Structure 1
Amino acid sequence: MRKKPCLQSSDVHKMAAACRAEAEKQKWNVTIAIVDDAGILLYLDRMDGAIATTAEVATLKAKTSAITRRPSKFWEDRVKERPAFMNFPGVLQIQGGLPIMYEGECVGAIGVSGVQSHEDEQIAKAGIDALG
């Protein structure tokens, strides 16, 4: 049987703190979602001032990246080439979700929503970088 790495609570909190620090540094009010490799929510932080819809969008961005093992921007770009991908089940085609890769395995993803999509991704990247 194959052994696969997985996120631990300490990993999730370390990444979440790095995401929050980046958002606060930039003065951005966002929601941060971290999911496991199946897209199941492990952590959600809707910062003060982040609008209600950001909680759902951040979670869907993270889920998209986890289940497809690709940044959500991949799907945003893909839809431009083939609009049929708009109907791909369970996938949100908006930049701001990044898979968390460890030893060649996707162990989860981070999704952020609340500012411009490239800024959402900047915050998610800060979290992934903290995992090292």
Structure 2
Amino acid sequence: MSTITLKSAHRLIEAASAEAERIGVPMNIAVVDAGGNLTAFHRQDGAWIGSIAISQAKAYTARAFDMPTADLQPMVQPDQPLYGLEASDPGNIIAFPGGIPLTQDGQIIGAIGVSGGLVDQDQQVAAAGAAAL
């Protein structure tokens, strides 16, 4: 199984951090490997402490379900097929936008998760990080 390297994870974090600075919102940025394990984490000065665990959960969720958390979010709403999914693994599964799987050569090698702003800002910063792969 291929997985993201620490060097690549740092590159993604640098790109995501630059985007967060550009929009003026301090973020927590987490990168997990192909197994969903934390590989690298960065908390920008002033980023919400409460968003540390959220960023890590977004990265884990994106890897666990191999889809962006923004795509998962509509499926976990009431009367939708995955309603209640977040209760299946409390604290680890979260379906707010800001988690994106990372692919290389057609394989998922990890995921990035970002939290600290509005969900659209989190998604924007995560996408900037993922694009650095």
Instruction: Establish whether TM, by shorter chain, passes 0.5.
Output: yes
Structure 2: which 5+ residue stretches go unaligned?
none
Report the 3-state secondary structure (helix = DSSP H, G, I; strand = E; otherwise coil) of the residue aligned with 2:4. Answer: coil
CA distance in 1, matches of 2:117, 2:34: 25
Structure 1: which 5+ residue stretches go unaligned?
none
Partner of residue 85, structure 2: 85
Contact in 1 for aligned 2:6/2:40 (Cα 8 Å): no
Contact in 2 for aligned 1:61/1:96 (Cα 8 Å): yes
> Aligned-pair distance for 1:120?
0.5
TM-score normalised by the chain length of structure 2:
0.89
> Aligned-pair distance for 1:14?
1.0
> Aligned-pair distance for 1:128?
1.2
Partner of residue 106, structure 1: 108
Contact in 2 for aligned 1:46/1:55 (Cα 8 Å): yes
Residue-by-residue CA offset, 1:42-100 (whole Å, 9 max, x unaligned):
11111111111111000000000011111112221101223233434342121110000
Equivalent in 17, 20, 39 of residue 20 of structure 1: 17
Aligned residues: 128
Identity of aligned residues (%): 30
Equivalent in 53, 66, 74 of residue 71 of structure 2: 74
Report the 3-state secondary structure (helix = DSSP H, G, I; strand = E; otherwise coil) of the residue aligned with 2:131. Answer: helix
TM-score normalised by the chain length of structure 1:
0.90
Higher helix share goes to which structure?
1
Residue-by-residue CA offset, 1:85-120 (whole Å, 9 max, x unaligned):
343434212111000011111100000001011210
CA distance in 1, matches of 2:22, 2:84: 38
1:1-132 matched pairs, under 5 angstroms:
4-80=1-77, 81-82=80-81, 83-89=83-89, 90-131=92-133
RMSD of aligned residue pairs (Cα, Å): 1.3
User: Cα 1:88–1:75, aligned 2, differ >3 Å: closer, same or farther?
Assistant: farther
Contact in 1 for aligned 2:52/2:115 (Cα 8 Å): yes
CA distance in 2, matches of 1:84, 1:129: 31
Report the 3-state secondary structure (helix = DSSP H, G, I; strand = E; otherwise coil) of the residue aligned with 2:84. Answer: helix
